[in-house]
Structure 1
Amino acid sequence: MGIPKKLKNMNAHVDGEGYLGKIAEFEEPNLALATEDWRGGGMIGPVKIDLGLEGMEAKLKMGGHEASLIRKFGTTRVDGVRVRLTGAYQADDGTAAQAVECYIGARFSEISPGTAKPGDDTEHDYTLPLAYYRREVNGRTEVEIDMVNGVFKVDGFDRYAEIMAIISS
């Protein structure tokens, strides 16, 4: 029987600026294949045909007002905001902590300052539709997706390389 690794602490960097003590939450993007049903003659039921990837979205929640993040709103580049989230995951079984890092290239599509009331919490939410995503565990790249450049790597295997080779020549 094992003990799960839990997030013990984290930090976020946005365009190189650290937010230690200010980052409240980070929501990693869901990874999903874009599929459609196909049922051809002779098949007894449909199968899901892989059509690429669904769009990805991440979210940041800051503990309060961050003018430096609001100033990034409206960038014209799909990857104009670079975010690096570093998390330390550890199981309470005496094993070493794991470094989990997420690198994203995106832009803020929505900034939600929520409600403001003196004496109450004032968290701000930032939504980022991703153009680029890479997730590393202890320095090893587990997933890398570059929507614009056609990169879709999982565990070191580029699942889209064959298609890119055909259309790039």
Structure 2
Amino acid sequence: MALPAKLKNFNIFVDGITMIGVAQEMTLPKLTQKLIAYRGGGMMAAVNVELGFDDGALDMDMSVGGLMVDLLKKMGTSTADGMQLRFVGAYQDDSDALYKSCTIQTRGRFTEVDWGTAKVGEDTTHKYTLKNTYVKITVDGEVVLEVDALNMIWVVGGEDKMAALRKAMGM
């Protein structure tokens, strides 16, 4: 019998600062490719041609349990890859009780801070939106996926899908 590994707990680090006990929720990147339909003469159907990743494909959201001055200070990050975030999740397979470690490392910057509502006696959650230029997903030490938009790198399962393109461009 096989069961999927489910997230049992996680931690987030922003520029090396732990968010344990503070981070409540993370919306992980929705890795979507940009495709266009192409149908030339003599073709019976359109073919979707791959053009990289969709705008926003590397974006993430992070919710924390209230006021975090250190995070607010990162709102002014000057470069597109100036802030590093690392999500470390412990996923457990209930069929064998073994844990898998999944790390998602990103580089980018906050583009939005949503403080939600403020009401005395109620819980507060602040949501931070990240626009990333880099995402690397590692499971149990194996790099499964790496996307570096600034350096034209796209590695999937150890295969550098952009190596031939960089070579053709003299890079």
TM-score range, shorter chain: over 0.9
Aligned-residue identity in percent? 36
User: How far apart, CA to CA, are the structure 1 residues paired with 2:132 and 2:54?
Assistant: 11
Query: 5+ residue gaps in structure 1?
Result: none
Of 107, 117, 134, the match for 1:105: 107
Give 1:51 deviation, angstroms.
Answer: 1.1
In the alignment, structure 1 residue 44 sits paired with structure 2 residue 83: no
User: How far apart, CA to CA, are the structure 1 residues paired with 2:34 and 2:44?
Assistant: 22
Q: Where do 1:122-161 residues align within 5 Å?
A: 122-161=124-163
Give the letter aligned to residue 124 of structure 1.
Answer: H
Structure-2-length-normalised TM-score: 0.95
Query: 5+ residue gaps in structure 2?
Result: none
Query: What number of residue pairs does the alignment pair up?
Result: 169
User: How far apart, CA to CA, are the structure 2 residues paired with 1:7 and 1:23?
Assistant: 15
Give 1:76 deviation, angstroms.
Answer: 1.4
| Corresponding residue for residue 15 of structure 1 | 15
| Secondary structure of the structure 2 residue equivalent to 1:93 | coil
Give 1:71 deviation, angstroms.
Answer: 0.5
| Corresponding residue for residue 78 of structure 2 | 76
Structure-1-length-normalised TM-score: 0.96
User: How far apart, CA to CA, are the structure 2 residues paired with 1:99 and 1:76?
Assistant: 32
| Secondary structure of the structure 1 residue equivalent to 2:168 | helix
Give the letter aligned to residue 150 of structure 1.
Answer: M
User: How far apart, CA to CA, are the structure 1 residues paired with 2:164 and 2:72?
Assistant: 40
